[in-house]
Amino acid sequence: MAVLPAAEIRRAVRHALEEDAGQGDVTTSSLFPNRVPAEGRIIAQQDLIVAGMAAAVQSFLAVDASLALTVVKKDGSRAADGETLLRIDGDGRSILTAERVALNFLQHLSGIATLTDRFRQAVRGYPVAILDTRKTLPGWRAIQKWAVTLGGGTNHRFSLADGVLVKDNHLSLLPQKTAIRQACTLAKRSGGTRMPIIVEVESLADVAEALTGQADIILLDNMTPVMVKKAVRMINGRALVEVSGGITLNNVRAMAAAGPDRISIGALTHSAPAAAMTLELEPRDAKPKRRR
């Protein structure tokens, strides 16, 4: 599991609160001019992998450092439908002000971790890694990729500087007959630290070109499981095999069975549904509800 730097959490929380509460919470201040002792609980409304708890805690404390927070489910832990994730005690006005930002972090990041876990469970038994991509929200890449690791996934490149990945649009600007081999040659000749050369291919002919160019990783783009299996046999261990494009929970196991080393899935970060959860708030002197 990757460790998310505290500075990344503080930055994200600061920007989120500036956006949502930078000019105050007019509803709460209108209704409650004085302190309102209250207790709140964030409760899971589905089975999920918790991610974003550290950011949620920081969101509440950034609004009001006097709030008492009890983390029931830490980042990376599993939670069942109905379980309490976080307890908050203090001024209800502060809880209301921070509520949406805290839930945004928890719901979005837990959604990513939970979806990643579902993909990992779908390929159980096969020695294949589930990877994310660079299809992330601007400014949220570090925390989204962190959520992927909480779900058992592996991070692909963090930026354009983290590896050579030759895609179709790169190849379109090179002489077509030898584009893949030429791209590999040019990448190897370039200065700097030696990095893996990944080449995206769309056919078995492209696979042959990538092998001739001695690519380190051959990325099979939008191929069927049958085609992937043929490509894996053709490559025969001379390069790592990655599969990408159109990967869903319905076809990922068939892709894994075809024998690739890794499967990269953009949907982990750009299309993960938000995890269902809610914040229940009540006056501190109210009759306590049954807790799990």
Candidate list 78, 120, 134, 135, residue with the active-site label: 135
Candidate list 91, 99, 200, 242, residue with the active-site label: 200
250-to-6, 115, 258, 263, 265 alpha-carbon distances in Å: 36, 13, 15, 14, 13
The C-alpha atoms of residue 191 and residue 103 are separated, in whole angstroms, by 46
Assess whether 167 carries a catalytic annotation.
Answer: yes
Candidate list 117, 132, 206, 221, residue with the active-site label: 221
The C-alpha atoms of residue 17 and residue 155 are separated, in whole angstroms, by 28
Q: And the tokens for 288?
A: 């306590």
- Residue 156 CA to chain centroid, in angstroms? 11
Assess whether 135 carries a catalytic annotation.
Answer: yes
Q: And the tokens for 10?
A: 């503080």
Candidate list 11, 87, 100, 134, residue with the active-site label: 100
Alpha carbons within 13 angstroms on the beta-carbon side of residue 114 total: 26
Assess whether 242 carries a catalytic annotation.
Answer: no
Query: Residue 218: which of 202, 198, 248, 237 has the closest Cα?
Result: 198
Assess whether 177 carries a catalytic annotation.
Answer: no
Assess whether 19 carries a catalytic annotation.
Answer: no
Tell me which residues are annotated as active site: 100, 135, 167, 200, 221
